[in-house]
Structure 1
Amino acid sequence: MHKPVNEPVFYSYPGMVAVVTSRHGDVQNVMASGWHTYIGSSPSVYGISLRKETYSYQLIEQSGVFGVHFLPAHRSEWIQAAGTFSGKDTDKFSEFGITYSEGMRVNVPILDDAYFAYECKVVDITTYGDHEWIAGEVQQRYRDDDYFMEDGMVNLEKLQIPMYTGRSSYRILDAGATEKIHPFHLLES
């Protein structure tokens, strides 16, 4: 049974971690963001939550653009490295062999191994507590069709998705996970 908790505890895991890329001038970075979501469809807007002190926040604030990527499970080490080391001290692309191509619409690295990615142009930055909520209008999408079925759903027979459970730990979502289908139908009024 649940009980009241007085200390500030946050609970949002397990969940997918987005990998965020940024660039301003000749400086670029890659970082992990556990707090992110698609927040609008007309226009398409994706949001990420970063602390103002991060190197990526500085680059995004200066450039006005960022990339959001979703990586397969065999790249969970990249996700963890991107979230552990600071771009101020480490060129994470070189140090961890993270390969990328140039964005098509905005000046950000697009990770080659991402099975889905967005290029975003900042439309708003709002402070909530100790984090900045950065909303970006999606300028370009990328999808590796090898990992998707005709209906647009991910093909878990081919793709393993890393789910962050906290404290540097991941579980893998794949075809072995139990599927539950709920065929609810809307009742006519």
Structure 2
Amino acid sequence: MAKQQWKPTTILNPVPAVMVTCSDREDKPNIITVAWAGTINSKPPMVSISVRKERYSYNLIKERGQFAINLTTRRLAFAADFCGVKSGKDVDKFDALKLTPEKASKIEIPLIKESPVNIECVVKDIIELGSHDMFIAEIVAVDIDEKLLDKDGKLCMERAELICYSHGEYWTLDKSLGYFGYSVTKKSNLKRNIKDKAFKR
């Protein structure tokens, strides 16, 4: 298989397209969509988001020291794109998109009610990287729509119909290919998959 060598670029794909809520000191809320977001620690649970300094939301997050990550779904794809290209300086995104601000349990920033999973975050550090600054934050609460839980209380994330962002486009996640650890618990399937791949080369 031939490969081309490209210059260094942001090629990691797919990535989450999350809607981050923030607000100014007068509690006027805003939403910014970011793709540079990820889990960075488990104990304590921590995440990071990277935002350009020139973005309207940058100073809101820096001044309040709080934000919420709202996971995006198939139904929220249009809203996620809108919040990524429109500035909160010019438009009230909650009003324009008919989204509902919902009171958070631990932070003073509103959540997006229509998002099935909201992650409440408190900023612990800001790292200047170049084009973006990285906000490192601790997760202080998680809000889960009860519709995602089965009768035993197990989280069924597939019910959320989450989306991701890949090479300039939004994609749905349509089918599970396995679960954590399946490659070592089904050795016969693993051997068959390796054999199938060898034949396809």
Partner of residue 10, structure 1: 10
Q: How does 1:1-189 map to 2 (within 5 A)?
A: 1-6=2-7, 8-26=8-26, 27-149=28-150, 150-154=153-157, 156=158, 158-167=159-168, 169-174=169-174, 177=175, 179-181=177-179, 182-185=182-185
Deviation of the 1:151 alpha carbon: 4.4
Which whole-Å deviations, capped at 9, do the CAs of 1:43-101 have from their partners, x for residues lacking one? 22111111111111110111111111102211101100110101111111111112121
Please state whether the residue corresponding to 2:160 is helix, strand or coil. Answer: coil
Following the alignment from structure 1 to structure 2, what is the Cα–Cα distance between the partners of residues 178 and 123?
35
**In the alignment, is the contact (CA less than 8 A) between 2:121 and 2:137 conserved in 1?**
yes
Aligned Cα root-mean-square deviation (Å): 1.8
Instruction: Letter of the 1:50 partner, please give it.
Output: V
Following the alignment from structure 1 to structure 2, what is the Cα–Cα distance between the partners of residues 166 and 145?
32
**In the alignment, is the contact (CA less than 8 A) between 1:28 and 1:59 conserved in 2?**
no
TM normalised by structure 1 equals 0.86
Structure 1 runs not aligned, ≥5 long = none
Q: By percentage of residues, which structure has more strand?
A: 1
Instruction: Letter of the 1:180 partner, please give it.
Output: G
Please state whether the residue corresponding to 1:184 is helix, strand or coil. Answer: helix
Instruction: Letter of the 2:68 partner, please give it.
Output: G
Instruction: Letter of the 2:91 partner, please give it.
Output: T
User: Number of aligned pairs?
Assistant: 179
Following the alignment from structure 1 to structure 2, what is the Cα–Cα distance between the partners of residues 61 and 137?
14
Following the alignment from structure 1 to structure 2, what is the Cα–Cα distance between the partners of residues 55 and 38?
24
Deviation of the 1:178 alpha carbon: 5.3
Please state whether the residue corresponding to 1:56 is helix, strand or coil. Answer: helix
**In the alignment, is the contact (CA less than 8 A) between 1:71 and 1:113 conserved in 2?**
no
Structure 1 residues 78-87 or 10-19, which shifts more? 10-19
Q: By percentage of residues, which structure has more helix?
A: 2
Change (3 A) 1:41 1:14: closer
**In the alignment, is the contact (CA less than 8 A) between 1:78 and 1:96 conserved in 2?**
yes
